[in-house]
Chain A
Amino acid sequence: MTKVVIMGEEIMSSVIGPTGPEQRRLANNVMKEALNRAGLPFKSISYVVATGYGRINVPFADKQITEITCHARGVASFFPDARTIIDIGGQDSKGIKINNGRPIDFVMNDKCAAGSGRFLEIIADTLGIKIEEMGELALQSKNPAVISNICTIFAEQEVVDKLAEGIPLKNLVAGILESLANRVSRMVKRLKIEREVILTGGVAKNAGMVQALSDKLGYPVSVPPEPLLTGAVGATLLGKEIAQKAKERDESPERKERSLKEIEIL
């Protein structure tokens, strides 16, 4: 998903673009939409920061900063006391330890789908339910099924078998969320988690998942108002700092040649 946030004194507009590999090179379209909503021309934007996987695919960005740094900044702006961020996105998951809005350590899983939101998508598909329904369903379960396979493919098979055995759907879904929570917390524990813990990324909208993760960690995790946008918000804040610093020195920030075109590669 491509997200754009435009910030002046505060957020002026934000857009969450469509998903899919094809969309990756169309960051310019999402940008146009955001500009429209803010009622701004492109040239009035003084600085553009690109982040996330697609950060190299944004030809009109002035700087690329990793999602680690941007998330830290974004989350800290909502939760000044945050110490640990758990981000579960569509393609990866990560844990970030932060201090004063800056990352001090991090772990990532971008190697295997089973530790990311993709896992839920695939299983939802297999079960024939909508991914948005998973949270509610899981919360109704008192007896989550045990999903022992870690690999997505095996887990898919296991879910099918268990469904055939007559295990209720809600228990299965709860089991699936639990297994994702296990996997993610197993990774994040390498950081020696400190509170307060903030959950971001698309999965954070899933109430069942928030519950499962809180259960696993033994204390509640908090979710920002727009968990999908924290990275983008962080990027704008960092961009703003760069622009302001340049202004203080009476310079204009170092910028790239830019145009709002789609990129040629891919």
Chain B
Amino acid sequence: MAEEKKKHKKRRTATEAAASIGPMVKEFISGTLRAKEEGRKVAFTFIVCLYDEILRAMDILPVWTENFAGICGAKRDAERFLERSESLGLSRSLCTYALCGIGFDQWREELGEMPPDAPWGGQVRPDMMLSSGQILCDPRNKWYQASQLYMPDVPVYNIDLPYPLYEDDVEFTDVRDYYVKHIIEELRGLVAFLEKQTGTKMDYDRLSETVDLGERTWNLIWETYDLRRAVPTPMGTGDAMNTMVPMCFMMGTQEAYDFFLGLNKELKEKVARKEGVVEDEKYRLLWGGGLPSWFALSDFNYFNSKGAVFPAETTYRMIESMYQIYMPDTNDPIERLAWRWFGYWVFWHNKARKRPGSHPDVEWLIQYIEDYKIDGIVMHEAFSCRTWHLGLIWQLNQLAKIYKPIPVLVLGKDGKKEKTNRELPSLVLESDIIDITTYSEVDTRNRIDAFIETLESVAKSKVH
């Protein structure tokens, strides 16, 4: 019982900015409930669609359905909604965010009011649902269609947001024109749909302003996160799982920009004071992939307690430096959004081409390993989301094959010690984003302990 309580205590963050996120998220949820009452339009939608600015410019309030499910998970109150989805015939092997959301929505529709004790007041009934059939995630293509079975009067609008995969014989520049053209058309289709739903025309000057603000925010985040290169690092992935909130849910708002200004200032001060996440920083780890288990974020603190910190992560790094993304000379905000989307997803292609055996996903890891002086990699395999979790093991294997940065001595054939290089140690945790029944704290911490021991012995055998 004492154990239970301990878990629910507020998690300690390294930065004050990260600690301020809780109320912000709460405000989202109650904000959408209020907006609905005031007759403003609310739309279900997904993060990582990069059209946030369009919604902001049209005063449509986004309801991030992944976020609500994540909150249910973090509050350890997702199970009843997951079960409801199962009873509708949906398999537990599917994205548990979607199951949680569909289960909740179906329940709300059945009751005609919020389900009992709904987390933070519950998820509002939307005016529309904006799917996104990108090349990223099937649930984004199917989830709202499935929800519509329980709210048939709520329209769904689905757009395509493709990007090319990495090929040997086709460069992204070969296909760029028709990809971008299609994305632009799809975004224009979205705008037309939203205009119809709201009965107001898009104000393109305003959209230009939000897109501008969005781009400036991208650069600001990039600069801010870059400060984490410092030794000791002032902020870890545990905090980044909080600061992803303004990045992924508030892009195109002044609030998000201001938030990162604040974080930037805080990190600079910490760096100047040499104040790290932990007092005695021993191991710098890269969170190399996988969404976190929202109910077990305290595992990051457990890492910290062993002197391990995470200066960088690839998860929720939904920004790049805009200076490095190709942008043609255009003032059309829709076009800018399309080019930004495309540029983000092909960001690592050119680099990968230069290293034999590399791949954009692997190249990304290598860059961060070098930039952030990384000693080991941790990934999380969440069973229910194929989007972010397929290919992780392969990435580690491929990385180990082509990138061996640690000089060590081994016993050669003639019995003499030889200098050679080895790959970075890595750890793959297994659980889920919100399905707590897949998680075992004992097992997870045993694995972490064993990993820390590996890091220790690698550090010892390292030759300088």
Residues on A close to B: CB < 8 A? Answer: 146, 148-150, 154, 157, 161, 165, 167, 186, 189-190, 192
User: Is the beta-carbon distance between B86 and A190 smaller than 8 angstroms?
Assistant: yes
Interface pairs (19), CB distance under 8 Å: A146-B4, A148-B437, A149-B437, A149-B440, A150-B437, A154-B440, A154-B443, A157-B440, A157-B442, A165-B3, A167-B1, A186-B83, A186-B86, A186-B87, A189-B86, A189-B87, A190-B86, A190-B87, A190-B89
Q: Which residues does chain A contribute within 8 Å of B87, judged by CB atoms?
A: 186, 189-190, 192
Alpha-carbon gap, A190 to B83, bound state (A): 9
Report chain A residues within 8 Å CB of B86: 186, 189-190
Indicate the member of B1, B88, B436 with the most A CB atoms within 10 Å: B1
B residues apposed to A, CB below 8 Å: 1, 3-4, 83, 86-89, 436-437, 440, 442-443
Residues of B within 8 A of A161 (CB): 442
Complex Cα gap A186–B89 (Å): 11
CB distance from A76 to the nearest CB of B (A): 24
Distance in Å: Cβ of A29 to nearest Cβ of chain B: 41
Residues of A within 8 A of B442 (CB): 157, 161
Question: Which residues of A have CB within 8 Å of B440?
Answer: 149, 154, 157
Residues of B within 8 A of A192 (CB): 87
Q: A157-B442, A161-B442 are known contacts. Are A189 and B83 too (CB-CB below 8 A)? A: yes
Instruction: Specify which chain B residues have a CB less than 8 angstroms from the CB of A150 in the assembled complex.
Output: 437
Closest partner residue, chain B, to A192 (CB atom): B87
Among B88, B436, B440, chain A packs the most CB atoms within 10 A around the CB of: B440
User: Which of chain A's residues has its CB closest to B438's CB?
Assistant: A150
Tell me if A148 and B436 are in contact (CB < 8 A): yes
Q: Which residue of A lies closest to B437 (CB)?
A: A150
In the complex, A161→B437 CA distance in Å? 17
* B residues less than 8 Å from A149 (CB atoms): 437, 440
8 further interface pairs, Cβ-Cβ under 8 Å (given A157-B440, A190-B88): A146-B4, A148-B437, A149-B440, A154-B443, A186-B86, A189-B83, A190-B86, A190-B89
Chain A nearest Cβ from B356, distance in angstroms: 43
> Chain B contacts of A190 at CB under 8 A?
86-89
CB distance from B62 to the nearest CB of A (A): 32
- Nearest chain B CB to A149's CB is how many angstroms away? 7
Q: How far is the CB of B338 from chain A (nearest CB, A)?
A: 43
Residues of A with C-beta under 8 A to B88: 190
CA distance A208 to B3 in the complex (A): 27
For the complex, give the distance between the alpha carbons of A168 and B427 in Å. 37
Report the separation of the CA atoms of residues A161 and B436 in the bound assembly, to the nearest whole angstrom.
Answer: 18
Q: Which residues of A contact B4 (CB under 8 A)?
A: 146
B413 to chain A, nearest CB (A): 44
For the complex of A and B, the 7 pairs showing the least CB-CB separation, nearest first, are A189-B87, A150-B437, A186-B83, A190-B87, A154-B440, A186-B86, A148-B436
Tell me, in angstroms, the Cα distance from A155 to B443 when the chains sit together.
13
Set of chain A residues within 8 Å of B3, measured between Cβ atoms: 165
**Complex CA distance for A173 and B300, rounded to whole angstroms:** 33
Question: For the complex, what is the distance from the CA of A161 to the CA of B442, rounded to whole Å?
Answer: 10
A67, B440: Cα distance in complex, Å = 36
CB distance from B432 to the nearest CB of A (A): 12
Closest to B90 in A: A190
Instruction: Note all chain B residues with C-beta closer than 8 A to A189.
Output: 83, 86-87
A187 → chain B closest CB, angstroms? 8
Bound complex: CA of A162 vs CA of B87, how far in Å? 31
Tell me, rounded to whole Å, the shortest Cβ–Cβ distance linking A143 to chain B: 10
Q: A161 CA to B443 CA in the complex, in Å?
A: 13
Residues of B within 8 Å of A157, CB to CB, are 440, 442
Closest residue of chain B to A189, judged by CB?
B87
Chain B residues with Cβ below 8 Å from A186 are 83, 86-87
**With a CB–CB cut-off of 8 A, which chain A residues contact B83?**
186, 189
When chains A and B are docked, how far (Å) is the Cα of A149 from the Cα of B442?
Answer: 12
CA A186 – CA B91 in complex, angstroms?
12
CB distance from A87 to the nearest CB of B (A): 18
> Closest approach, in angstroms, between the C-beta of A263 and any C-beta of chain B?
37
A203 to B273: give the CA distance in the assembly, Å: 64
Q: Which residue of B lies closest to A191 (CB)?
A: B87
CA distance A157 to B86 in the complex (A): 27
Question: From B83, which residue of chain A is reached at the shortest CB distance?
Answer: A186
Q: Of all chain A residues, which has the CB nearest B3?
A: A165
